[in-house]
Each structure stands twice: as structure tokens, then as C-alpha cells.
Amino acid sequence: MEYQFTSRNFQQEVLDSKQPVLVDFYANWCGPCRSMMPTIAQLADEYNGRVKVGKVNSDEEPELARQFGVMSIPAFFILKDGKIVDQMVGAMPKPALEQRLNAQL
């Protein structure tokens, strides 16, 4: 299951999550972001129950993007116990994201 994170649900869904969380900051106009969407959807299905996977639309949630210091998208953050434990910027192959997620399990 892929989540849509917003300022309204971020505390509960991400910061208070008992599972690691992969947060994808994206925008609809961003080509590399669109190219990553199928990969993020696959990861959400494959890691269901082990990692919460979701997206933040940086155009609709500029305050969240600012809090995370997002300067370039797509930007990926892995949070564990409410803290950032890994971050990556730019489109990347699925195995690269899997490796980073597996390191947090």
C-alpha cells in the first residue's frame, strides 16, 4: 500500500510509525519523479507490512519539503523511529533503493 503523506497526517503516519518509512518527495511536473512512480509503487507492495512507503507532493506541501531541506526532486528519505536514517536524491534503479531499505530492516 502506497501512502500520500501530508502535513495533516505526517506526524501519525511517518514520525510515529513503528515501521521504517520511505518518503518520496515529488512533483507531478517532474520527469524523473514520474519515472520513479512505478518503482515506488512496486516497493510499497513488496515491503508491505515491513516498511511504510509513501509520497509527499512538494508543490502541495512546501512546508514539509522545507523542513526536510529538499532542494532537488525526487528526494527520498528513510525514517526510523521518527529520525532520518538515510536520504538519496535523484532517480535511481530499484535495486539501489532496495539495498538502502534492507539496511534498515
> What DSSP string describes 49-71?
TT-EEEEEETTT-HHHHHHTT--
Indicate if the alpha-carbon torsion angle 60, 64, 66, 70 is positive or negative.
negative
Instruction: Tell me the C-alpha distance between 99 and 38, whole Å.
Output: 17
Active site residues: 30, 33
